[in-house]
Amino acid sequence: MSESSSVERAGEPLDLSLSAAELERHREHIVAFIRNQLDAAGVEEAVLGLSGGIDSTTTAYLAVEALGADSVHGLVLPSEVNRDRNMSDAERVAETLGISYDVIEIEPIVDAMLTAVPSVNADADTSSDPLKTAVGNLRVRTRAVLNYFAANRRQALVLGTGNRSEALVGYFTKYGDGAVDCHPIANLYKQQVRQLAKHLGVEDDLAEKTASAEMWSGQTDAEELGVDYDTLDSILALHVDGPLSTSATVRTLDVDEDLIEHVRELYERSAHKRQVPPGPEPLY
């Protein structure tokens, strides 16, 4: 990766866009998937976290199509680092869809946990790694606890919002936003999620919003990953999911070889997040 820019971009990203007919097939396939997941679990409701971002918005639209508005419940869970605009967008999504939702401030819960940890004092500098990531992940895992409390209470499943791009590079918190019962949009690369969102009627300002995990102020996915999603998706499709060699991927996308290696390393290092936690072989 070059030193000059913190976000690498391909000269010629791959066009992964789906045709209208393909988008319609994905829509039907995912809607059927959600219904099947609930049927198999013997429950009638689903809950999901609403962040105002495109992954949760798209998943919420699909869930309402699958189950009806009365069977979907949203959790809007602001922390001190969430932008107000994103939280009001999350509420806008719930209101547009006509689903019930709770707004629960998570910072007091996070603060209580940090206060309870002896080695983290109240004045600790949480703005630099590794504490910054640890606290960010604590916020994400606090949301998972609240999502499961809602699911237990309502006899519901927790819908995840992970897409294919995030899953392949491990860009999620293990047992945080990864702690869910199923991921309806798991087959779609990030740019295809945006496309499906527009196809479903999600407003453009939501569909085109810059992706952010909002684990700390000012975080964007592209800056942290070191690559923008169109480029990341292209490398994943050609080289990680697909058969192209490093050099062929470099030529096709007009990117540095270092960037391909960076993405492959993210993929390999995050294998543990895509697996069930292992134990030793049985001993007889």
Ligand X SMILES: Nc1ncnc2c1ncn2[C@@H]1O[C@H](COP(=O)(O)OP(=O)(O)OP(=O)(O)O)[C@@H](O)[C@H]1O
Residues 192-251 that bind ligand X (CB under 6 A): 211-214, 221
Q: Which is nearer to ligand DND, 244 or 263 (CB)?
A: 263
54 binds ligand X, rule: CB under 6 A? yes
Cα–Cα distance for residue pair 133/156, rounded to 1 Å = 30
3-state secondary structure 66-100: HHCHHHEEEEECCCCCCCHHHHHHHHHHHHHHCCE
Query: If you count them, how many residues does the chain have?
Result: 284
Q: Which residues neighbour 88 within 8 Å (Cβ) at sequence distance 6 or greater?
A: 52
- Quote the strand ranges of the chain, DSSP E: 45-49, 72-76, 100-103, 156-158
135 binds ligand X, rule: CB under 6 A? no
Cα–Cα distance for residue pair 2/23, rounded to 1 Å = 36
Per CB under 6 A, the list member of 71, 82, 173, 252 interacting with ligand DND is 173
51 binds Mg ion, rule: CB under 5 A? yes
136 binds ligand X, rule: CB under 6 A? no
Per-residue mark of binding to ligand DND, 178-217 (x: CB under 6 A): -----------------------------------x-x--
* 235 annotated as a binding-site residue: no
Cα–Cα distance for residue pair 162/140, rounded to 1 Å = 14
Name the minimum Å distance from CB 177 to ligand DND: 5
Nearest residue to 51 via CA among 82, 30, 73, 80: 82
User: Tell me, what DSSP letter sits at residue 159?
Assistant: B
Per CB under 6 A, the list member of 14, 26, 30, 53 interacting with ligand X is 53
Name the minimum Å distance from CB 29 to ligand X: 20
Q: Which is nearer to ligand X, 221 or 250 (CB)?
A: 221
CA 129 vs. chain centroid, Å, equals: 21
Per CB under 5 A, the list member of 53, 78, 178, 184 interacting with Mg ion is 53
Per CB under 6 A, the list member of 37, 96, 126, 133 interacting with ligand DND is 133
Q: Extract the tokens encoding 238.
A: 């050609």
Of the listed pieces 12-20, 21-29, 69-77, 247-255, which binds ligand X according to CB under 6 A? 69-77
Q: Which residues neighbour 260 within 8 Å (Cβ) at sequence distance 6 or greater?
A: 235, 239, 246, 249, 250
* 54 annotated as a binding-site residue: yes
Q: Residue 54: name its binding partner from ligand DND, ligand X, Mg ion, none (Cβ under 5 to 8 Å by kind).
A: ligand X
Of the listed pieces 8-16, 46-54, 93-101, 113-121, which binds ligand X according to CB under 6 A? 46-54
Under 8 Å between Cβ of 262 and 227:
yes
Q: Which residues are annotated as a binding site for deamido-NAD(+)?
A: 141, 174, 181, 272-273
Q: Which residues are annotated as a binding site for Mg(2+)?
A: 55, 166
